[in-house]
A and B are shown apart, each in its own frame.
Chain A
Amino acid sequence: MPVNRQSSASAARTSDRPTGFRNPWFQFVLNIVGVVIYELLLKAGASATADSAKSWSWIGINALASPLTWLAIVVIIVDLVIWLYILRYIPLSIAFPLSRTVDVLVPISCWLILRETISPLRWCGIALAIVGLIIVAKPAAELEQRL
């Protein structure tokens, strides 16, 4: 049974799971902070170089003219390494929904830093996402106890 094989493999992988700085959940927090930082940098870089008159600008290449975009790329690469590390220990079906914490943090950051406006309906959506995150956090905590 492939499912059983995978479960036992996961158990074997996670039984010697690192602690401290290398703890996957600590890296998870770092990953989320990284996503918020690079999304804001990308938006700033993309806005600084936006030229919607060009039809090929949909592919976003001209955003590379901004140093902010390159700084974002550096953060993305570091964040990718962290994410791959997380995926070695945490199932994607738990890690990915929890990673959507950024969907709450990014709009709030846009509101605070980029001065973008957030409507009451958007605030409701943010609240709903937070409730979902709390619910998903429980299976994550149970997973942690089993490890």
Chain B
Amino acid sequence: MQPHEIEAIHRNHLRRMAKQRCLVVATQLALFLLFIGIWEGLARANAINVLIFSYPSKMWQLFWSMILDGSLLPHVAITVGETVVGFLLGTLLGTLLATLIWWSPFLSRVLEPYLVVGNSMPKVALGPVFIVGLGPGLVSVIAMGCAISVIITTIVIYTSFKEVNPNYVKVVQTLGANKRQTFTMVILPATIPTILSTLKVNVGLSWVGVIVGEFLVSQKGLGYLIIYGFQVFNFTLMKVMKIPALLVRAGVPSR
């Protein structure tokens, strides 16, 4: 077989792969358009209650007008900002806690049941506590975004610390490493991939936490707008708010 033949086979393979990718994207797009189309059609034909379900073209109008008059973007910015701070705090605290537990096997055994209980507790229920403790405002919302992710982060990262192959630890121990070196040279670098993937999950969790927090206290943000829409029975507004909520969430790579 000639080199150019081998190359041709490889090229063919690439072309097939590209075609397949196109097909997937096209089908996804078609499904979306179909969904929007049916929704719009049903609303126009009065087959669904327009007050409750609203419909795409009306939502788009509202969305566009809110962008133009500048009343939407500040809310989006606030929510995104709160989420970023909340999830960074959550991840940082969770990683620190996991490190602490790893360091002391005694502490890990003491805290284990508390972590399990803490994780199964509905974090959203802490909302009122935060509001009373930290005041109704930004800090409470951020605390919400942080609280919702911190315990699960601790558990996931501590578990991955423990799952590092003990032979790697043995390697550095035979080279004379102390506990701190074992942690910084083996445990932490070996779990970086896990920490990164928890980051991605945490963005989603904090996003939910922040919006719920805004439901409860805020005067700004997407969560506030959703609740406001509900209070004035403007379901179109409620639904419109889910567009940036979805877009921002979808912007976070999930893998």
Do A and B form a real pair?
Answer: no
* Residues in A lying within 8 Å of B, measured CB to CB: none
- Which B residues lie at the A interface, using CB under 8 A? none
